[in-house]
Structure 1
Amino acid sequence: DLENVEDDDQENVQILPAGEGQQANQKRITTPYMTKYERARVLGTRALQIAMCAPVMVELEGETDPLQIAMKELKSRKIPIIIRRYLPDGSYEDWGCDELIITD
């Protein structure tokens, strides 16, 4: 049963470029914590973008690995990605990576 819950959680999240999300004016229902599944997807997506020559949002100090650079961006809250969380009623909430609480 736990595996099915994890699969459901992953299907209810979408990654968007920074300019495409809705405004944060409405009251949010979901948790302000970034889940481990969202973290993995954000890091993978951002590392792929960096590998394809996307602009880096942090100062590089000798890092060449895209995943390490993505982790550094996440730690400094500079990843230009919005997480869209779908709710059971079909609506959704958009969270910027800079708004979510990240636990390592």
Structure 2
Amino acid sequence: MSDNIVQRVYQARLTRFELARIVGARALQLAHGAPPLIDVSNLPYKDPVAIAIIELLKGLLPMSVKRRKSDGSFELVPVSRLLSGDNKRYLESILDSWGKDRRY
């Protein structure tokens, strides 16, 4: 394999389990006093889960997902590279289900 070619061995999207883990972990951090990565003063709600979802949608979370390669080794892939259009629509639908007047 050439050095110029980057081999992608991961699925180019987050699974529903990874989404739940990422949002849950960040919401727990926020609930325990971690500073939000967005300005929450203009949000109509201060729910840690909603803030975590918005941070994820904006690509601000400095988290990575550990994916196994075919040779048995692992690769750390930034969450921002794995957030697909389907993932975004799903997360936006969750925010919409909490109230139509709640926009970010």
TM range (shorter): 0.5 to 0.7
Counterpart of 1:13 in structure 2 is none
Distance 2:62 2:44 in 1: 22
TM-score (normalised: structure 2): 0.67
* CA shift in 2, pair 1:82/1:92, >3 Å: same
**Higher strand fraction (1 or 2):** 1
Q: Which runs of 5+ in 1 are unaligned?
A: 1-24
Identity rate, percent: 32
Deviation at 1:90, TM superposition (A): 2.7
Counterpart of 2:11 in structure 1 is 31
Runs of 4+ in structure 1 off by over 4 angstroms are none
Compare relative contact order (CA 8 Å, sep 6+) and give the higher one, 1 or 2: 1
**Equivalent residue for 2:37, pick from 57, 68, 72:** 57
Distance 2:6 2:29 in 1: 30
Matched positions, count: 80
**Matched position secondary structure for 2:80:** coil
Deviation at 1:78, TM superposition (A): 0.8
Counterpart of 1:94 in structure 2 is 76
> What is the Cα-based RMSD across aligned positions, in Å?
1.8
Counterpart of 1:4 in structure 2 is none
Residues 42-53 of structure 1 mapped to structure 2, 5 A cutoff: 42-53=22-33
Distance 2:70 2:32 in 1: 35
* CA shift in 2, pair 1:81/1:57, >3 Å: same
Q: Which runs of 5+ in 2 are unaligned?
A: 91-104
TM-score (normalised: structure 1): 0.67
The alignment status of 1:68 with 2:50, answered yes or no, reads yes
- Which one-letter code corresponds to 1:93 in the other structure? E
